[in-house]
């Protein structure tokens, strides 16, 4: 038992170190939640013993948004930094200063050049910001210095390096590469402010020095492209590896990822208005050969429905079909006003002038999940089933289309929208990736809904690269998709301690 506690402590420490690098805000949130839990426990103990509870004094917690963190080093962005100011030049006017090259290293401005105080100040701000960026995120500086030839060379090089590391099959190597991708993302996000600083310097620059500013900015953009290439190389290697690597490797990484998530005993809630929550039991269903439940499916759809590009597409939760459609013996629409304001419909319909072009449904029928796409422009209903033996055809599909027709017509009448045509057609999508077991139907249903929310077909151009299916044969093993879903849940969800 002592050994088990020691292992858990090591794992928890490793996780804290990882969060300190990739998500310090979440780490701070967890610390505060633990502290609140401990205070409540001490208060309860004091009350049970008939004592007066006195809170402990603690130092104020620094807001993590004011700091940048990398490899355990925390740099306060509000702290005063050493400034290398241009110096006044002998004989210069009071509005001019002599240029000091150390203010902005790499700028091809000759030393001693007379510049206006306004331009010198703007270049000083730019140089200070660049130095802070490089010191706070040494990974960026390291990559730029070691790969001066740019992104065209670094992307394939880091792809190969990352793929070789992943081929070990170790969970630690996999998570390390994920952390590196997050660090690159932090570098690129932090660099967003530089465009405004360069523009500010150009506005104050006289024509004779403008080309120097442009050349330096071009060099900086080359640095950023190099960082983007490094990030994309590692990410592409990770994406390729988990889809084509031996199943035992991916399954091992997935099992360790779930064990790490479940051991923390979190409840994960959606950050949006839809109040869905996943327990440890729900998260464990993302493990190999486990059936997904409707809670996991609804949670993912709640995350995806917030995307701005889905303004003419809507997901319906799993409960919609089970409550309002009778799919037992003869398919029927149960009717009722609640069918027109179920789940997200009520909020999403406010202010709309017409029905959604695309309505996406997860359907649970006889212990099996599949996806349905309702196209109100083409007046078509298409099913996407990863188990062909259970796919609806003939009379079943025709009856279901009639049910959908009734509901869409009632929905439009209820909200005062123009109804689509009365001629509806049904289709069972062909060449749909197939599962190779009896437990992956929920995973494939989510994959299909993810693809079809962004495109009119599987593997459309707007489908996120990580969720793309390589070939029908490679798609047969869904452990990689389970791993991606778990990562998206933990990254986008709000974690709460018990």
pLDDT at 395 over 90: no
Residue identified by tokens 């004094």 is 57
Other Cβ atoms within 10 Å of 140 Cβ, number? 24
- What one-character-per-residue DSSP string does 419-468 give? P--S--EEEE-SS----SSSS-HHHHHHHHHHHHHHSSSTT-TTS-GGG-
Highest-scoring range by mean pLDDT, 67-71, 246-250, 471-475: 246-250
Which tokens in the block code for residue 115? Answer: 């510049």
Tell me the C-alpha to C-alpha distance, in Å, between residue 10 and each of 15, 177, 215, 221.
Answer: 9, 20, 49, 41
Strand partners, 115: 97
Strand residues in 288-410 grouped as ranges (E): 313-315, 325-326, 332-333, 358-364, 369-375, 380-384
Confidence tier at 90 by pLDDT (50, 70, 90): low
Average pLDDT rounded to a whole number, residues 350-372: 94
Confidence tier at 38 by pLDDT (50, 70, 90): confident
Contact assessment for residue 62 and residue 31, using Cβ atoms and an 8 Å cutoff: no
Q: How much is the pLDDT for 7?
A: 58
Strand residues in 136-213 grouped as ranges (E): none
269 DSSP 8-state letter = E
Longest dimension (CA), the chain: 97
Q: How much is the pLDDT for 72?
A: 36
Residue identified by tokens 């130095």 is 131
Report whether CATH 3.40.395.10 matches the domain 287-496.
yes
pLDDT at 467 over 80: yes
- What one-character-per-residue DSSP string does 232-248 give? HHHHHHHHHHHHHS-HH
Q: How much is the pLDDT for 59?
A: 41
Q: How much is the pLDDT for 285?
A: 96
Contact assessment for residue 219 and residue 108, using Cβ atoms and an 8 Å cutoff: no
d(CA 345, CA 21): 40
Of the two residues 8 and 217, the one the predictor is more confident about is: 217
Of the two residues 434 and 138, the one the predictor is more confident about is: 434
Supply the mean pLDDT for the chain: 82
Tell whether the torsion through CA atoms of 232, 238, 240 and 243 is positive or negative. negative
d(CA 274, CA 261): 22
Tell me the C-alpha to C-alpha distance, in Å, between residue 182 and each of 133, 136, 139, 250, 466.
Answer: 16, 14, 11, 21, 15
Strand partners, 381: 374, 426
315 sits in which H/E element: strand 313-315
Confidence tier at 74 by pLDDT (50, 70, 90): very low
335 DSSP 8-state letter = -
329 DSSP 8-state letter = S
Confidence tier at 94 by pLDDT (50, 70, 90): low
Q: How much is the pLDDT for 378?
A: 95
199 DSSP 8-state letter = H
The whole model's pTM is what?
0.74
Least confident interval from 35-44, 140-149, 344-353: 140-149
Contact assessment for residue 95 and residue 114, using Cβ atoms and an 8 Å cutoff: no
Domain boundary assignment for the chain: 12-61, 96-244, 287-496
Residues in the chain: 498
Nearest CA to 245 among 483, 451, 489? 483
* List of residues 6+ apart from 176 with CB closer than 8 A: 165
Other Cβ atoms within 10 Å of 104 Cβ, number? 23
Contact assessment for residue 180 and residue 234, using Cβ atoms and an 8 Å cutoff: yes
81 sits in which H/E element: none
Q: How much is the pLDDT for 429?
A: 92
Condensed to tens digits (0 to 9), the pLDDT of residues 179-196 reads 889 888 888 888 888 999
Q: Report the first-to-last Cα separation within the chain, whole angstroms.
A: 23
Residue identified by tokens 């509870």 is 53
Condensed to tens digits (0 to 9), the pLDDT of residues 110-122 reads 998 999 999 999 9
């Amino acid at each position: 038992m002592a050994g088990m506690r020691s292992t858990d402590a090591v794992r928890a420490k490793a996780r804290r170190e990882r969060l300190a690098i990739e998500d310090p805000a979440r780490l701070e949130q967890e610390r505060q939640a633990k502290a609140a839990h401990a205070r409540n426990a001490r208060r309860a103990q004091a009350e049970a013993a008939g004592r007066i509870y006195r809170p402990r004094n603690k130092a104020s917690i620094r807001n993590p948004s004011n700091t940048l963190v990398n490899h355990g080093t925390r740099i306060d962005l509000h702290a005063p930094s050493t400034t290398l100011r241009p110096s006044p030049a002998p004989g210069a006017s009071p509005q001019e200063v002599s240029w000091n090259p150390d203010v902005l290293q790499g700028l091809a401005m000759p030393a001693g050049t007379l510049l206006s105080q306004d331009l010198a100040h703007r270049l000083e701000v730019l140089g200070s910001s660049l130095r802070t960026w490089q010191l706070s995120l040494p990974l960026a500086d390291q990559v730029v210095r070691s790969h001066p030839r740019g992104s065209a060379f670094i992307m394939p090089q880091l792809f190969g390096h990352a793929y070789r590391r992943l081929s070990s099959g170790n969970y630690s190597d996999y998570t390390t590469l994920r952390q590196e991708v997050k660090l690159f993302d932090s570098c690129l996000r932090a660099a967003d402010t530089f465009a405004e600083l360069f523009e500010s310097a150009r506005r104050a620059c006289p024509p004779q020095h403008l080309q120097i500013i442009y050349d330096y900015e071009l060099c900086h953009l080359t640095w950023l492209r190099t960082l983007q290439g490094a990030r994309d190389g590692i990410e592409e290697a990770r994406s390729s590896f988990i889809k084509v690597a031996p199943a035992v490797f991916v399954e091992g990484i997935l099992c360790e990822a779930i064990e790490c998530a479940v051991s923390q005993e979190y409840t994960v809630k959606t950050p949006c208005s839809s109040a869905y929550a996943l327990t440890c039991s729900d998260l464990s269903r993302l493990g190999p050969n486990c059936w997904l439940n409707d809670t996991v499916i609804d949670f993912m759809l709640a995350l995806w429905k917030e995307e701005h590009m889905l303004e003419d597409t809507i997901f319906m939760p799993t409960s919609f079909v089970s409550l309002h459609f009778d799919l037992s013996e003869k398919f029927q629409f149960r009717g009722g006003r609640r069918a027109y304001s179920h789940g997200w419909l009520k909020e999403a319909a406010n202010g709309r002038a017409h029905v959604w072009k695309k309505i996406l449904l997860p359907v649970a029928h006889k212990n099996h999940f599949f996806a349905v796409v309702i196209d109100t422009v083409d007046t078509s209903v298409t099913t996407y089933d990863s188990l062909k033996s259970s796919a609806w055809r003939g009379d079943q599909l025709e009856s279901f289309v009639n049910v959908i027709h009734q509901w869409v017509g009632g929905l439009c009448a209820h909200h005062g929208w123009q109804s689509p045509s009365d001629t509806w057609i049904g289709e069972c999508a062909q060449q749909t990736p197939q599962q190779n077991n009896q437990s992956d139907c929920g995973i494939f249903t989510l994959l299909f809904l993810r693809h079809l929310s962004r495109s009119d077909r599987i593997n459309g151009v707007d489908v996120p690269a990580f969720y793309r299916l390589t070939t029908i044969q490679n798609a047969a093993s869904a452990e990689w998709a389970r791993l991606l879903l778990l990562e998206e849940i933990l990254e986008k969800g709000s974690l709460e301690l018990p």
